[in-house]
Structure 1
């Protein structure tokens, strides 16, 4: 069995950092992630820099990244202006985003769900005219910080709308980290009726410590694409209290332990995690990274 990992740390992770991360650090991190064998990396966002100043250097980051056949770089695009920037940056794939809950969508995008559909449809059509692939994100599928439980019919309706726009892959997000394995099996079990499992991805946060358990539950119902963030970086500025995404290191360790292929070299991946942890100057949530660095420290002390 093979699982595709979509690395979202450079965008979803770093966008929440209070201190601006230097462009050179972002580029070095992405290069290290690519060197580990990750083939899809969400590098940045073309959301207006006034809203996410951390990613104001999107064009420069993409201009300086080496391009090759082995890695696809993507970026979040909110509207036609963002798409123009993505096209100018030479991207072959973009990502659209919206929420399954009305209140979160309103606070995140400043539009109702119904008002969001025509905007995304216009962007998707334009992107396809440029020969670009389009991915979709649906937030708050498993719970909303403002509304609580989100009916599965909300996610079904949004998923169907995105499919009709020609989105090739839809990432369903547990934005505030409330999902449990039982809920994951139920919701994905329902949504695979609308789209084949091959077109659905899981995007889990680990706020309540259930992130990896939810990965196993999603595997059980046929999901083979997972979003994760190096070191467990991330959160959501519109979801109070939301912890980071599941860690890429933890995800790869889990999958390899289940004899599932990812194409990722865990040792090189941990080099990327150690690098960004050092650059940010604080310990990151990844448990596998912590164990790896602790073992290294012990070995160094033993050699001393």
Structure 2
């Protein structure tokens, strides 16, 4: 299988509804870079009243020690957010575009058409700056309520984006609606319009289908996949509801065992996931960090046994 570029969104997802210091946010980004993640969604440049947990976005960008070859990215909701992202040195800014009209009005505060008009204004600003502008398609697979969505539901917005020249898309399964068959259908649709190199897919694990969907994305040859360390994810508008992205460390282990090259150091990733769990007060998700990675050679087996001892079945 081909190499896959993984983008970790946990710095935004973990802290938009969970309080943490700026220092911890910076440390998470730097730990992810050390583990080999080449693209990281650092924060959101949105109004602090809407997402108080990310009010320090400028400070986080300013303090991160960025090595060459790493893309530090952000979310934005309007021209003001884009201007803040440019001033902070973000490499990529992702516009938050909802695909559901009711959700767009209730949570973004404007219709889809109004959002597309705002995106056009942002294009003019981005064209004069050293930044790449792309767009989320929030709820591309369904949700937050109602039936699942398919290509025909997304066609109008997708064709409008193509006519604007906005090519970089994130198909976001924001509410965990997607199953592998729907992943296949939506990826084929997006690639038929826009080509594979511009497509990122972000699946969430709200209904337990996340790893199955990541495996399907790998099978389909999707090059860019969004994940979230320790299954991080919460939304201020949905307290108590699991909306996290697919757990990065679990997905990396699965992809490695499938023979997919990610460039990520799983041991460092597991260490960082456990560190993040401490920051989140023991609320992090995931499986691999609790039991350890599957050893794939004698050296890894010896290291695992040195840490935990040889496993022995308990007699009845």
Is TM more than 0.5 here? yes
Aligned to 2:57: 58
1:297, CA displacement in angstroms?
10
Aligned to 1:6: 7
Which residues of 2 match residues 124-163 of structure 1 at below 5 A? 124-163=123-162
Q: Deviations for 1:224-254, whole angstroms, at most 9, x for unmatched residues?
A: 2110111100044445734311011011111
Q: 1:175 to 1:187 in 2, by over 3 A?
A: same
Which residues of 2 match residues 100-111 of structure 1 at below 5 A? 100-111=99-110
Q: 1:201 to 1:239 in 2, by over 3 A?
A: farther
Structure 1, 108-117 or 50-59: larger mean CA deviation: 108-117
1:80, CA displacement in angstroms?
1.2
Aligned structure 1 segments of 4 or more residues deviating by more than 6 angstroms: 295-298
1:39–1:72 Cα contact (<8 Å) kept: yes
Aligned to 1:234: 233
Q: Deviations for 1:185-234, whole angstroms, at most 9, x for unmatched residues?
A: 12222222111122111111111111011112223333121101111000
Q: 1:239 to 1:120 in 2, by over 3 A?
A: farther
1:101–1:147 Cα contact (<8 Å) kept: no
Aligned to 1:42: 41
2:150–2:185 Cα contact (<8 Å) kept: no
Which residues of 2 match residues 62-211 of structure 1 at below 5 A? 62-211=61-210
Aligned to 1:244: 244
TM-score by length of 2: 0.88
Question: Quick check: 1:22 aligned with 2:21?
Answer: yes
Q: 1:270 to 1:163 in 2, by over 3 A?
A: farther
1:272, CA displacement in angstroms?
1.4
Structure 1, 255-264 or 100-109: larger mean CA deviation: 100-109
TM-score by length of 1: 0.91
Determine the C-alpha separation between the residues in 1 that align with 2:174 and 2:235: 7
Determine the C-alpha separation between the residues in 2 that align with 1:242 and 1:276: 17
Aligned to 2:261: 261
1:231–1:286 Cα contact (<8 Å) kept: yes
1:101–1:154 Cα contact (<8 Å) kept: no
1:67, CA displacement in angstroms?
2.4
Determine the C-alpha separation between the residues in 2 that align with 1:66 and 1:150: 40
1:112, CA displacement in angstroms?
1.0
RMSD: 2.2
1:35, CA displacement in angstroms?
0.3
1:68, CA displacement in angstroms?
2.7
1:151, CA displacement in angstroms?
4.4
Determine the C-alpha separation between the residues in 2 that align with 1:13 and 1:162: 29
